[in-house]
Chains A and B, each alone.
Chain A
């Protein structure tokens, strides 16, 4: 049987643990695989799907401002740029980053995946974390309401103003969860396959307002539906902020290698400057009251 690189990691960890248990006369030796030394061993070589290559999955199509021109490999857009910064941090050359495309459902279906992780604005939730693995968050996301000037919600100032509106969002997004669980409109929100279908419904006058994450809302009102505008940012309700994370298979050892790299990109300001470059559009957008 061929032993895949992925299997080396548990084996190596096991070897470390066993070695640690035997060494009673050396109190300095720890058995914790999270210590920098042990981690360096587990991550060298990096336990990727293809040795030496970082295979990254994303959706099809991908939308601005997360990626540009439906081409994840151009380094343009926040998520594409982030992946290349992460690869650099992990010691993987730009040329060794491979992209594959997946649908949302394939990405979350059980079974072995032909890639290392999936990036397409997956928000981290406890329910999801029971069946898949997440990295630490790479972006704190806020939700925003988009509407046409003549829409009944164009002048809304609080969540209560939205309860009788026809609202819509794309499936699998935090935006939809926000509408369903926090706004709770009288009529159930319309649920679209993706942002493109949501825009089609908007053009067809089938919704009064659409909810997107704020960066997407900026892009849509600037480019896709210029006659619509952002009514307001939706207030954060509850304790924990919504964060986007990289999606792994559950208990993938690669998570423990990616997290420190991602943390380093937070610490040295790389992620903040990528946010400035791709996501922060400025402007005064009011936040609706609860």
Chain B
């Protein structure tokens, strides 16, 4: 996470910083290395492919998992469900980034007067990191609306997204806190000595550095949440995975699962690449600053 700024640049030999991109690779290994790599890749993946395609049940699996007719038949429903996944993801992620920051700040407050606040923050994080997300969804999604409290919505979509926010915020708050802890104490003390209040020194000196330090970890959480929204389906919500399951249960054909898989990959792989790219760029900038 924050190791880039923690040591002198010479400590990190060039090869360790390889990001896996083709350009980096060529720069390090040259043409001969590239040829070996290409051959080895073709041989390994070719062998794997051969192994799968010659398995005795491959024709059966091909018909049940990779049928083009079923792909087309199930795609509209799964796609409509996936749009719901994307909406849930965007709404939940925005709420998580704000709510988790609030929790982390509350947990980092200093002074004896804030003890109950810190206790609440720690209790919340312990509780929601301790409950499996699936269990939390069932408990909140079915349990709270069953109380039929006046003014409290009963919508499974609402409670699904709320539970995602509550659960992920507990993890994300700890990510923020690690960022806050990674800012040297001298930064805060300097800000205080300039006459900034506790709040101002947090807002203008500590948090900007803290958040920047944990951006890669936050992006990692983003990729994770993008898939976990599918769990909301246990409450009856017809998102992509549930739509695929409905198709499978109707036809006993699994191609709809492949449709859903492709859709999730279309979002999560670019997200992961973006996270890598951002981290690499940030690291490069910091090293320029140091040297």
Contacts and interface: CB of A to CB of B under 8 A. Distances in A.
A125 B143 CA distance: 36
A86 to B, nearest CB: 23
Interface residues of A, number: 33
Contacts of B148: 205
A177 interface: yes
Contact of A171 (B154, B155, B245, B254): B245
B140 to A, nearest CB: 10
B15 interface: no
Interface string B232-250: 0111111000100110111
A104 B245 CA distance: 11
Contact of A197 (B234, B245, B252): B234
A110 interface: yes
Given A110-B64, A132-B252, A192 B142 contact: no
Interface string A196-224: 01101101111100000000000000000
Interface string A90-109: 00000000000000110011
Contacts of A125: 250
A190 B238 contact: yes
A15 interface: no
A142 B251 CA distance: 20
Instruction: Say whether chain A's binding surface is mostly helix, strand, loop, or mixed.
Output: mixed
A191 B238 contact: yes
A204 B141 contact: yes
A127 interface: yes
Contacts of B266: none
Contacts of A189: 238
Contacts of A177: 250
Instruction: Say whether chain B's binding surface is mostly helix, strand, loop, or mixed.
Output: helix
Given A110-B57, A206-B156, A190 B236 contact: yes
B146 A193 contact: no
A108 B249 CA distance: 8
B221 interface: no
Contact of B142 (A109, A168, A201): A201
Interface string A213-247: 00000000000000000000000000000000000
Contacts of B154: 204-206
Contacts of A204: 141-146, 154, 156
B201 interface: no
Interface in B166-207: none
B290 interface: no
A109 B156 contact: no
A127 B156 CA distance: 31
A111 interface: yes
Contact of A203 (B57, B60, B142, B251): B142
B258 interface: no
A192 to B, nearest CB: 5
B152 to A, nearest CB: 10
A205 B252 contact: no
Nearest to A201: B236
Contact of B60 (A110, A172, A197): A110
B248 A105 contact: yes
Nearest to A174: B250
B61 interface: yes
B93 interface: no
A131 interface: yes
A192 B60 contact: no
Contact of A191 (B61, B236, B252): B236
Given A197-B234, A206-B154, A127 B145 contact: no
Nearest to A131: B252
Nearest to B233: A191
B249 A171 contact: yes
Contacts of A172: 249-250
Nearest to A132: B252
A176 interface: yes
A198 B237 CA distance: 12
Contacts of A130: 252
Lowest 9 CB-CB distances: which A-B pairs, in order?
A190-B236, A172-B249, A204-B145, A200-B142, A108-B252, A127-B251, A204-B146, A205-B154, A203-B146
5 contacts: A108-B249, A128-B251, A130-B252, A200-B146, A205-B146
Given A131-B64, A171-B245, A205-B148, 14 more contacts: A104-B249, A108-B249, A127-B252, A128-B251, A128-B252, A171-B246, A172-B249, A176-B249, A190-B238, A191-B238, A191-B246, A200-B138, A206-B145, A206-B154
